[in-house]
A and B are shown apart, each in its own frame.
Chain A
Amino acid sequence: MNPTGHPHLDSLLAQFGDRLQQVTIPYPAELHFRIAREDILDVAGYLYQDLKVPLDLLLAVDQRPQRGIFELVYLFGDRLRHAHTSFTVPVPAEDPVFPSLAGKIFVAGRYEQEVWDMFGLVPQQHPDLRRLVRHAYWPEDYYPLRKDAGTPGDGTVPDFKDEGQPFRFQRVEGEGIFEIPVGPVHAGIIEPGHFRFSVEGETIINLESRLWWVHKGIEKLFETLPLRQTVKLAERISGDTSFSHCLAYCQALEKVAGVEVPLRARYLRTIYAEMERLYNHIHDIGFIAQDTGFMWAGAQGGRLREQLVRLNAQLTGSRFLRDVCLPGGVTRDISDVVHLALVLADWLKDFHEVLQVLRSNTIFLDRMQDTGILFPQRAEDLQVLGYAARASGQNRDTRRDHPYAAYDFLEFDVPVFEKGDVQARFEVRVEEIRQSVRLIHAALGKLPAGPLMAPFPDLPENKVAFSQVEGWRGTITHWVQSGSQNQIYRCKVKDPSFVNWPAINLAIRTNIVPDFPLTNKSFDLSYSGNDL
């Protein structure tokens, strides 16, 4: 007997019938089933093209120790019908190939490259199968996320040899076309990334970025660390998104363990998550202006941000809200609700004054307008997330579409702009600052009494759950499978940067080289969150 009550269920069953096996609804509004490898294209294509459900995540799990197979998991998130559908596909260990979805779902290609890199499962008919994570000096047949992969240096892993193997960049040829290689080491203090521009004069014809210079093995670490420490690890995936990554991870663990988080903790999580959004948004608004040479704005952005991170420290003991979120709840309470509300109201007034100055600087406005346009269609094809998507007409926000914490009980607006240029991304963030303060004020007003933490038991074995959180940069997805002895068997982390990076390459085309830093800043992506 099949379960009922999921918006995709009936149409999927009608379309595919018995080809869907073990159909379950493990959590509310989440449909899960298994299909055979040959059916990937049909089912995924149907979900994406007919039901218009975008692909949120594609990951692989090495199940060989127990079942002798690899598994692929495809996760689709339907933001209009507030539901998720995921399916698992077994891939035999002796024949580690699977059909590539890239022809049907463009964004799938990038996930498939990652799966190939980390697990050695080969996507067939992939249009652009170049190494993503593993740079050329990585050994040919070393796939780090396989369970039997050794640690470099322990004698089982082939040597990492840098023999100057080149990366296959797309070459643009023609009269007057030059290549400008930039990075991975930059003049400013930022993380490493290599950008290869093909330019005609100052006009950019093509840009390719090569990231993944500092692979940290985070997903592998999740599998080896004790559970308590994996929470700290989640906080360190991307330093500027400590709280949201931790929240996403904790929510996934809570689903696995079946723990209900006390209501007060859910409200506090909402408040802290919005505090994180606030301090990042204001900092980058200042920086966007500073990158046009408007130094005053950079100083003001830094000042306003500093006020907020100090407020964070006052509230929680950590400027970046670390060690606040734990599985089961939060560790820090907010006692003086009125004080926080007043401080934030003052802060918002201060912000509006700075904003007024920013908006009256015509050179700054001129630099932002029409620069780095990400067209809505491209934003949709690339499944761009967060404010970058909302600036390009994509009306998506996980807080509203798949509510978590206390967002269900609070009112807020999701700003959407159509133009997709630097100014639109700037304006979305300005509006989100207002909405964040509004959310915090509302949450403080309704803050229910109760405990901060629910007791958190040991994890049941072999259970799967995922969780999505709208970090300030966009939707963060954590997918967790528990193992034995309270360990994590597999944790897949997806920072929005992973899908947003390619958007910069498209947005910058036909712009001029000196506008790249500004465009790049307006997307403001994480190297660290991308390069796990």
Chain B
Amino acid sequence: MDYVAKFLIAVVQLLIVLGASPVLVSLIRRLKARLQGRLGPPWFQPYYDLAKYFQKESVVSETASWIFNFTPYLQFVCMLLIALFVPFYTAMLPLDATGGIIVIMYFFLLSTFFLALSGLDTGSAFGGMGSSREMTIAALAEPTIILAVFSISLVANSTNISTIILRLGSDYGLLFNPTHLLAFAAFVIVTIAETGRLPVDNPTTHLELTMIHEAMILEYSGRHLALVEWSAWMKLFLFLSLLTNLFFPWGVATSLDLLSFVAGLVIFAVKLTLAAGAIAFMETILAKVRIFRVPELLAGSFAIALLAIISFYVL
């Protein structure tokens, strides 16, 4: 694969994650609204919001340190970097040789870590509350993520994303072995926790005392808020891409020709739409669990991930 192709793919990957993540959010919101008997916001509302935030002044607390200003940019860059590792429609990834799935997970955690710091930074009670809750969840989710990632890697015999997809894509029998399925279940729960969806966190709430992610970013405004919001949407987009493509690698292009790219894009869109539908459905039938039940949920997902690893060696 020559550098021009890699460069072009990189550009397309970035454009997709920047442009399509608000659409994905919009899709979830609209599906949810329809399921709940409402009309929902306009399709391009996330874009309107971004445009609005960018035009507004960014107010920064006098007590905030550099971390507060730095975090939105760091988060944004983290998400863009991750986009170069995550397969959307092709397994030919620009930064494939640089790192694998473990790097991805720690970029996610890096951005979470800084967001939690910036929540504490302004000294507001809400930020602190949000950070403490987010860290509780992150600390419990991280072992599960690593175990789930390991079990996929064990099945595919590699932590390199391209290799995983090529291996799993070439032998569909691997997709139905218990290790893979258990890892999938664990990963779903972690995705919900990490992206702040119901039943862990309610992304649409206005009740400041119940918030987790929203509480941390309450102090942000203007372009900072735009970046933080956009990063959160990209995070959801990336997590769902990983989830769908790692566990259902059908249709991901493995060769450098236009037809398989187009087919890959279409199938990728279908997969994300299905994932969005699943989230919308879950968020319609579920309520938010009491916050002290979240550890139980995550402990469950950890146990599932552990079983995945054990089953690999035992079966």
Do A292 and B37 touch across chains, with their CB atoms under 8 A apart?
Answer: no
Do A514 and B210 touch across chains, with their CB atoms under 8 A apart?
Answer: yes
**Additional 18 contacts, C-beta under 8 A, given A361-B286, A513-B209:** A182-B125, A188-B206, A189-B206, A289-B287, A293-B199, A293-B202, A293-B205, A293-B287, A294-B287, A295-B36, A295-B284, A296-B37, A299-B36, A363-B286, A512-B291, A512-B292, A514-B210, A514-B291
Question: Is B56 part of the binding interface, using a Cβ–Cβ cutoff of 8 Å?
Answer: no
Residues of B with C-beta under 8 A to A188: 206-207
Q: For A181, A293, A515, which residue has the most chain B Cβ atoms within 10 angstroms?
A: A293
Residues of B with C-beta under 8 A to A513: 129, 209
Q: For A289, A292, A512, A516, which residue has the most chain B Cβ atoms within 10 angstroms?
A: A292
Do B129 and A295 touch across chains, with their CB atoms under 8 A apart?
Answer: no
Closest chain B residue, CB of each to CB of A201: B132
Do A181 and B125 touch across chains, with their CB atoms under 8 A apart?
Answer: yes
Given A366-B289, A512-B292, A514-B290, verify A295-B210 contact (CB < 8 Å): no
Q: How far is the CB of A229 from chain B (nearest CB, A)?
A: 36
Mask, B91-121, CB within 8 Å of A = 1, is 0000000000000000000000000000000
Closest chain B residue, CB of each to CB of A179: B125
Question: Is A449 part of the binding interface, using a Cβ–Cβ cutoff of 8 Å?
Answer: no
Residues of A with C-beta under 8 A to B126: 180
CB-contacts of B238-295 with A (<8 A): 283-293
Mask, A165-181, CB within 8 Å of B = 1, is 00000000000001111
Do B207 and A296 touch across chains, with their CB atoms under 8 A apart?
Answer: no
Question: Is B84 part of the binding interface, using a Cβ–Cβ cutoff of 8 Å?
Answer: no
Residues of B with C-beta under 8 A to A292: 287-288
Closest chain A residue, CB of each to CB of B125: A180
Residues of A with C-beta under 8 A to B208: 182, 186-187
CB-contacts of A248-300 with B (<8 A): 289, 291-296, 299-300
Q: How far is the CB of A507 from chain B (nearest CB, A)?
A: 15
Question: Is B174 part of the binding interface, using a Cβ–Cβ cutoff of 8 Å?
Answer: no
Residues of A with C-beta under 8 A to B198: 293
Question: Is A367 part of the binding interface, using a Cβ–Cβ cutoff of 8 Å?
Answer: yes
Range class of the B interface residue count: 20 to 34
Residues of A with C-beta under 8 A to B289: 363, 366-367
Question: Is B35 part of the binding interface, using a Cβ–Cβ cutoff of 8 Å?
Answer: yes
Question: Is B235 part of the binding interface, using a Cβ–Cβ cutoff of 8 Å?
Answer: no
Question: Is B204 part of the binding interface, using a Cβ–Cβ cutoff of 8 Å?
Answer: yes
Question: Is A152 part of the binding interface, using a Cβ–Cβ cutoff of 8 Å?
Answer: no
Q: How far is the CB of B100 from chain A (nearest CB, A)?
A: 35
Bound: A514/B206 CA distance, A: 12
Do A178 and B285 touch across chains, with their CB atoms under 8 A apart?
Answer: no
Instruction: Name B's A-contacting residues (CB within 8 A).
Output: 32, 35-38, 125-126, 128-129, 198-199, 202, 204-210, 218, 283-293
Q: How far is the CB of B278 from chain A (nearest CB, A)?
A: 16
Do A178 and B125 touch across chains, with their CB atoms under 8 A apart?
Answer: yes
Bound: A277/B306 CA distance, A: 53
Instruction: Name A's B-contacting residues (CB within 8 A).
Output: 178-182, 186-189, 202, 289, 291-296, 299-300, 303, 361, 363-364, 366-367, 512-517
Closest chain A residue, CB of each to CB of B208: A187
Q: How far is the CB of A201 from chain B (nearest CB, A)?
A: 8
Closest chain B residue, CB of each to CB of A357: B285
With beta carbons under 8 angstroms apart, the residue of B32, B128, B218 that contacts A295 is B32
Bound: A467/B284 CA distance, A: 45
Bound: A64/B93 CA distance, A: 87
Residues of A with C-beta under 8 A to B32: 295
Residues of B with C-beta under 8 A to A299: 36-38
Q: How far is the CB of B41 from chain A (nearest CB, A)?
A: 14
Do B125 and A303 touch across chains, with their CB atoms under 8 A apart?
Answer: no
Q: How far is the CB of B108 from chain A (nearest CB, A)?
A: 24
Residue contacts A-B, CB under 8 angstroms, 20 given: A179-B125, A180-B129, A182-B209, A186-B206, A189-B206, A292-B287, A292-B288, A293-B286, A294-B287, A294-B288, A295-B32, A295-B36, A299-B37, A300-B37, A363-B199, A363-B288, A364-B287, A367-B288, A514-B291, A515-B290
Bound: A123/B180 CA distance, A: 73
Residues of A with C-beta under 8 A to B204: 295
Given A293-B198, A295-B284, verify A187-B210 contact (CB < 8 Å): no
Bound: A513/B291 CA distance, A: 10
Residues of B with C-beta under 8 A to A361: 285-287
Given A187-B208, A513-B129, verify A295-B290 contact (CB < 8 Å): no
Bound: A182/B38 CA distance, A: 31
The 5 closest A-B pairs by CB, nearest first: A293-B288, A188-B206, A294-B287, A517-B207, A293-B202
Q: How far is the CB of B285 from chain A (nearest CB, A)?
A: 7
Given A179-B125, A363-B286, A514-B291, verify A291-B37 contact (CB < 8 Å): no
Bound: A299/B34 CA distance, A: 11
Closest chain B residue, CB of each to CB of A291: B207
Closest chain A residue, CB of each to CB of B212: A514
Q: How far is the CB of A300 from chain B (nearest CB, A)?
A: 7
Q: How far is the CB of A509 from chain B (nearest CB, A)?
A: 15
Bound: A512/B209 CA distance, A: 10
Residues of A with C-beta under 8 A to B35: 296
Residues of B with C-beta under 8 A to A289: 287
Q: How far is the CB of B67 from chain A (nearest CB, A)?
A: 21
Q: How far is the CB of A292 from chain B (nearest CB, A)?
A: 4
Do A303 and B290 touch across chains, with their CB atoms under 8 A apart?
Answer: no
Residues of B with C-beta under 8 A to A178: 125, 128
Residues of B with C-beta under 8 A to A179: 125
Residues of B with C-beta under 8 A to A367: 287-290
Bound: A421/B19 CA distance, A: 47
Residues of A with C-beta under 8 A to B128: 178
Closest chain A residue, CB of each to CB of B288: A293
Bound: A179/B129 CA distance, A: 11
Bound: A289/B205 CA distance, A: 12
Bound: A178/B289 CA distance, A: 24
Closest chain B residue, CB of each to CB of A297: B287
Do A514 and B209 touch across chains, with their CB atoms under 8 A apart?
Answer: yes
With beta carbons under 8 angstroms apart, the residue of B36, B129, B205 that contacts A296 is B36
Q: How far is the CB of B35 from chain A (nearest CB, A)?
A: 7
Closest chain B residue, CB of each to CB of A298: B36
Bound: A294/B289 CA distance, A: 10
Bound: A293/B202 CA distance, A: 6
Do B285 and A187 touch across chains, with their CB atoms under 8 A apart?
Answer: no
Q: How far is the CB of B287 from chain A (nearest CB, A)?
A: 4
